[in-house]
Amino acid sequence: MSNVKQVWNSVLKELESQVSALTFDLWIKNLQPVCIYRDRLVLATETEAHHNICEKRFHETIKKTSQKLFPIIVDIEIITSDMISAFEQYKEEELNADEEDTAASDEQATFFSSYTFDNFVVGKSNEFAAAVAKAVAEKVASGKPNIKYNPLFLYGGVGLGKTHLMHAIGNYIKEQNPKIKAIYVPTEKFINELLNIFRNSSDADARVVFRKKYRTVDILMLDDIQSITNRASTQEEIFYTFNDLYLAGKQIVISSDRPPKEIVPLEERLRTRFCSGVIADISQPDLDMRIAILQKMCLFERADIKKEVLRFIAEKITSNIRELKGLLTRVISYASLTGSDVNDMDVVNAALKDYAEDAKEVVTIQKIADIVCRYYNLDFKDLTGKKKNKEIVVPRQICIYLITEFLSTPLIAIGEFFGGRDHTTIMHARDKISATIRENKIIASQVKDLKDAILNR
């Protein structure tokens, strides 16, 4: 279990590596954690000016970092210190898992209790993925995994339910057969654990403990496998972990924001294994399904909200279920804290006022390209054209990387935007910049500047 201070300390550590030292010390470090309220991390500022700057410039960065470490957090709420008393009764609330427990506690993982099959809304965009996930959970819980579902590879955009399904599998198994050993771990955490072992090579027992932890389970769930690095030792460890579990008849579940064939860097032997079982994609939900998701959440929150209000909210978000739930939470919280009627459209509009202002300018491929052109003083025709001199190629690759970071646009469509380039060229550009920013501080700084410009426009 994690209280709000533990959660915020973890988020702070991550944020410190993402922003400049001056920005961190001046604005973010001074935010005070208040509570976790309706799966929202509430933070307080001392002054109205501090609040306005943090809300405008850093809300999205803090939210994304919080969600990365704690997927159950749907949003953050930044308040001024004079509002803290309104949240007094929620100060003792805790998350069901912290960053350490997310992977595993000893051998047994902690799963988010709110992520179950019962509250996962099924529609055309995810029915196959949900059905296969449930079948895997039932088979593993029975002690007889089905080889045709092994491995299960789930892929889809950010916030569409992959993590929810993985935790639902874990919760179902834990309820039906507590003796089954199950682990859920984000790939990035798996890699960081492994790198710590490499750095402390003098500890001969560390690798034995690591391998025992991950290779003696009944089901291993690796989330966000696209985070894999191109280090041969890392991919080798994942390969042998996969092989040991597979040959022992143990279940493997993997998730990614893209199908195996589009993950780079990825050794061919790993790609082949990821493709050897069942691959299930989760696409964007239509309006009716988004409304159904909000209705299900209302039941969970015991909130009686009219369908017209839910439709109004559902029309604001089309691709990210996590953000969709965040808007509903914002409306419910606002109505509760102000003693207003949650079905009053004036109240709903007031609750979503800041979001509506932020959403006036939607991030698009064209917007990102325009910002990159201004930053590097390039003509748009050169950025998307055929010239191959370094002064143009690097900004072009950075632009492609930023598009894949901010949008879920298919690679083929991005290639069309860049003069009809092949999707493999787009993949190469994306992955080259992804690797470069870890090694080249100048490029990393430029990418950070551009991200800030895109978020703060």
Q: What is the pLDDT of residue 9?
A: 86
- For residues 408 and 339, membership in a common domain is answered with no
Summarised one tens digit per residue, pLDDT across range 442-452 is 898 899 889 88
CATH number, residue 395: 1.10.1750.10
The residue among 190, 170, 75 whose CA lies nearest residue 114 is 170
Structural domain ending residue among the three candidates 39, 72, 95: 95
- For residues 118 and 88, membership in a common domain is answered with no
pLDDT band, very low/low/confident/very high, at 100 (cuts 50, 70, 90): very low
Contact between residue 329 and residue 75 where contact means Cβ atoms under 8 Å apart: yes
The C-alpha atoms of residue 15 and residue 54 are separated, in whole angstroms, by 13
Of 95-99, 213-217, 323-327, the range with the highest mean pLDDT is 213-217
Structural domain ending residue among the three candidates 64, 95, 126: 95
Task: Round the CA-based radius of gyration of the chain to a whole number and report it.
Answer: 22
- For residues 17 and 89, membership in a common domain is answered with yes
The C-alpha atoms of residue 263 and residue 9 are separated, in whole angstroms, by 32
* Category of 39 on φ-ψ map: left (φ > 0), alpha (ψ -120 to 50) or beta: left
Residue 73 one-letter amino acid: I
User: Which residues, other chains included, contact 12 with Cβ-Cβ below 8 Å and sequence gap of 6+?
Assistant: 28, 29
CATH number, residue 156: 3.40.50.300
Domain count of the chain? 4
The C-alpha atoms of residue 14 and residue 105 are separated, in whole angstroms, by 22
- For residues 252 and 335, membership in a common domain is answered with no
Contact between residue 133 and residue 143 where contact means Cβ atoms under 8 Å apart: no
- For residues 8 and 85, membership in a common domain is answered with yes
- For residues 340 and 199, membership in a common domain is answered with no
- For residues 30 and 171, membership in a common domain is answered with no
Summarised one tens digit per residue, pLDDT across range 323-379 is 788 888 888 878 877 888 999 999 898 888 766 544 444 678 888 999 999 999 999
- For residues 91 and 26, membership in a common domain is answered with yes
> 435 or 94: whose pLDDT is higher?
435
- For residues 137 and 196, membership in a common domain is answered with yes
Give the N- to C-terminal CA distance of the chain in Å, as an integer: 38
Structural domain ending residue among the three candidates 330, 358, 386: 358
Mean pLDDT for all residues in the chain: 84
Instruction: Please enumerate, as own/partner, the contacts of 229-238 that have beta carbons within 8 Å and a separation of 24 or more.
Output: 229/191, 229/265, 230/265, 230/435, 233/194, 233/198, 234/191, 234/194, 234/195, 235/265, 235/266, 235/267, 235/270, 237/194, 238/190, 238/270
- Domain limits for position 193: 101-282
Residue identified by tokens 């990387």 is 401
